[in-house]
Amino acid sequence: MNFAVAVLTYNHPNITIECLKSVVEIVPRELIYVIHNGSLAEHREKVQSEFPQLQHVVMPENKGFTGGCNEAMKIVLEKFDWLYFLTNDITLLSLGLLPDLPGLYAPLIWRRKKDVVDSMGAAFIPQESKLYHLKSKEEFSNLPSGHFPYVPGTAFLIHRDIFQKTGTLDESLHTYWEDVDYSQRVRLLGLKMDLHLNFELIHKVGKTCHKDPFYTNHLFKRNREIISNKYRL
């Protein structure tokens, strides 16, 4: 099996533990990496004590979503061809067989329970500084002019070739819209970006940025303007 799974976490150990319980049911423990993105020691140690057989990567300070994701990609894709990347506020349902072609792939994400689709990828309208989730394979494959696909950072599958050609996420963005930027870089290089619908998960309510104005107000609004201007036609 030439893949590994990385789960990004920043504090909130109970949420991370629930996520990892779903992951270890599907993935061998030696293939699971937990990226502790500057978590407090007591929070990190609670997760480590619950899952001592996993690969725990301790980052001494929080580097935002971009820094944590970059750490996961660097470590895993140095050893494996494929990385399944997960944030800690999900329940993993399945991984599916690996795709035939290297690419950046979006999973099927259910919203809270498995009867409402949250997303099958997403779209970006730079002219309107707008993002929206896609709900079907047909939507992803037939976007209107000026609408561009992107793979949300909640969870994705990426091949080493894509990472080597595209590089890391832009850490100056810290958190929010970094997934949009990265996907556009993949698209503009002519690399494969698609859906992998046998890779399924349930997305819960994230807590890391929840109601923190630094994230939800400052970073989100700042990065929306930066990325929309960067790709505006």
Predicted local distance difference test score (pLDDT) of residue 224: 96
**C-beta separation of 69 from 85 below 8 A:** yes
Q: Is the pLDDT of residue 199 over 80?
A: yes
Task: Give the mean pLDDT of the chain.
Answer: 94
pLDDT at 41: 96
Topology annotation, domain 3-231: Spore Coat Polysaccharide Biosynthesis Protein SpsA; Chain A (3.90.550)
pLDDT score recorded for residue 214:
72
| Mean pLDDT in residue range 127-146 | 97
Residue keyed to tokens 């150990």: 13
CB 139 within 8 A of CB 106: no
pLDDT beyond 70 at 87? yes
Kindly report, residue by residue over 25-82, the tens digit of the pLDDT: 999 999 999 999 999 999 999 999 999 999 999 999 999 999 999 999 999 999 999 9
Distance of CA 164 to the CA centre of its chain: 17
CB-based contact 69:8 (threshold 8 Å): yes
pTM score, whole prediction:
0.94
pLDDT digits (tens, 9 = 90+) for 162-186: 999 999 999 999 999 999 999 999 9
- Can you read off the two tokens belonging to residue 48? 């480590």
User: Residue 210 pLDDT more than 60?
Assistant: no
Q: Residue with structure tokens 């580097």?
A: 63
Chain centroid offset of residue 104 CA: 11
Residue 188 has pLDDT above 80, yes or no: yes
Q: Are 82 and 2 in contact (CB under 8 A)?
A: yes
* pLDDT score for 70: 98
